[in-house]
């Protein structure tokens, strides 16, 4: 069975990127990352074409209007989106495509792909810990931290959502301990790489 895309979702600072990096490092030949487009400015150390395609709003909007995107959303005040080409670049090479996207994007991908993708939500152990991680990362201004934390509760509530009678997320992983959470996501990701639709929820 061909690999199914894996959608990884969760509030800003919960550890999605860290977990994805660990899973991809452990299985470099099986997975590829969907490089999103964003209108936000690069952080120090972020590379265009690697972490994101950093583009001006007009360019992203034009591409969205031309139907080039699988999903897109305004997240914390910037536009982020997954181009169909970014996903195809990975899936055409026979690898499992990993998407790190927000809840709005996850809804759109679920609506487009149904059970032909696997959806995992990464939850923080508490709001206090989420705040500590986001602040500890030190990449956002105070205003941005507040905005991201303000959006977190609404995003976390999405773990209860259904779409067309089915749960929006197949799996919920609580990222308390990084090793344990990464192992749980790895198990889910290996199932997606084997082309297995979600069946048994894995909770860490
Ligand atoms: N289990 C954990 N315990 C403690 N710190 C963690 C844990 N998991 C991740 N972190 C740390 O939390 C911070 C945020 O992690 P990361 O950047 O991966 O979050 P993210 O969900 O990808 O955020 P964003 O959505 O903003 O990109 C990082 O400094 C990371 O090292
Ligand atoms: N809907 C989409 N959300 C995306 C995409 N790429 C990233 N994201 C989400 O944005 C926030 C913030 O990311 P950051 O890099 O600025 O910290 C985070 O929740 C990502 O998951 C995308 O293509 N579409």
Number of domains in the chain: 1
Ligand 1 atom nearest residue 136's Cα: 29
Q: List for the chain the helix, strand, coil content (%; round to 5).
A: 40, 20, 35
Q: Other CB atoms closer than 10 Å to residue 134's CB: what's the count?
A: 22
Q: Which of 85, 81, 6, 87 is nearest to 37 (CA)?
A: 81
CATH code of the domain containing 131: 3.40.50.300
The parent domain of residue 139 ranges over 6-34+95-193
Query: Is 149 contained in some domain?
Result: yes
Helices (H) and strands (E) in the chain, counts: 7, 11
In this predicted model, what pLDDT tens digit does every residue of 157-196 receive, in sequence order?
999 999 988 999 999 999 999 999 999 999 999 999 999 9
Any domain includes 78: no
Paired residues of 74 in beta bridges: 79
| Within-domain flag for 145 | yes
Q: Which pLDDT score, from 0 to 100, does residue 198 have?
A: 87
DSSP 44-77: TT--BTTTBEE--HHHHHHHHHTT-EEEEEEETT
Q: Is the CB of 5 under 6 A from ligand 2?
A: no
pLDDT for residue 164? 87
Angle between helices 16-26 and 178-193 (to 10 degrees): 60
Let me know if residue 49 belongs to a domain.
Answer: no
b/e map 27-43, b = 16+ CB within 10 Å: eeebbbbbbbbbbeeee
Atom of ligand 2 nearest to the CA of 9: 21
pTM exceeds cut of 0.95 = yes
- Annotated catalytic sites, by residue? 43, 137, 148
- C-alpha 149 to ligand 2 mean position (Å): 14
Which pLDDT belongs to residue 10? 98
- What's the number of CA atoms in the CB half-sphere (13 Å) around residue 158? 23
What average pLDDT does this structure show over 1-26? 98
Does 85 reside within a domain? no
Which DSSP symbol is given to 150? Answer: H
Tens digits of per-residue pLDDT, 68-93? 999 999 999 999 999 999 999 999 99
Alpha-carbon span 172 to 181, nearest angstrom: 10
**170 within a domain of the structure (yes/no):** yes
So what's the pLDDT on residue 199? 67
ipTM: 0.99
**Beta 171-174 vs 6-9: how paired, if at all?**
unpaired
Predicted pLDDT of residue 54: 98
Candidate from 101, 140, 144, 168 with most ligand 2 atoms within 8 A of CB, to mutate: 101
Backbone angles phi, psi at 180, to 5 degrees: -65, -45
pLDDT, position 106: 98
**Residue 29 reports pLDDT greater than 80:** yes
45: left (phi over 0), alpha (psi -120 to 50) or beta: left
* Domain-located, residue 152: yes
100-136 confidence digits (pLDDT tens) = 999 999 999 999 999 999 999 999 999 999 999 999 9
Nearest CA to ligand 1 atom 1: 178
């Amino acid at each position: 069975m061909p690999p199914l895309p894996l959608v990884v979702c969760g509030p800003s600072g919960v550890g999605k990127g860290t977990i994805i990096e660990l899973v991809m490092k452990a299985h470099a030949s099986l997975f590829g990352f969907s490089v999103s487009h964003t209108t936000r400015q690069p952080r120090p150390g972020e590379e265009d074409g690697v972490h994101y395609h950093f583009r001006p709003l007009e360019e992203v909007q034009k591409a969205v209007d031309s139907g080039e995107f699988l999903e897109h959303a305004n997240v914390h005040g910037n536009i982020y989106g997954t181009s169909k080409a970014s996903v195809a670049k990975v899936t055409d090479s026979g690898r499992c495509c990993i998407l790190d996207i927000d809840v709005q994007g996850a809804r759109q991908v679920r609506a487009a792909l149904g059970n032909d993708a696997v959806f995992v939500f990464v939850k923080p152990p508490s709001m206090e810990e989420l705040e500590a991680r986001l602040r500890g990362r030190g990449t956002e201004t105070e205003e941005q931290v507040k905005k991201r934390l303000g959006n977190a509760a609404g995003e976390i509530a999405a773990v209860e959502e259904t779409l067309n009678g089915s749960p929006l997320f197949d799996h919920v992983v609580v990222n308390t301990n990084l090793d344990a959470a990464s192992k749980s996501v790895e198990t889910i990701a290996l199932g997606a790489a084997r082309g297995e639709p979600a069946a048994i929820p894995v909770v860490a």
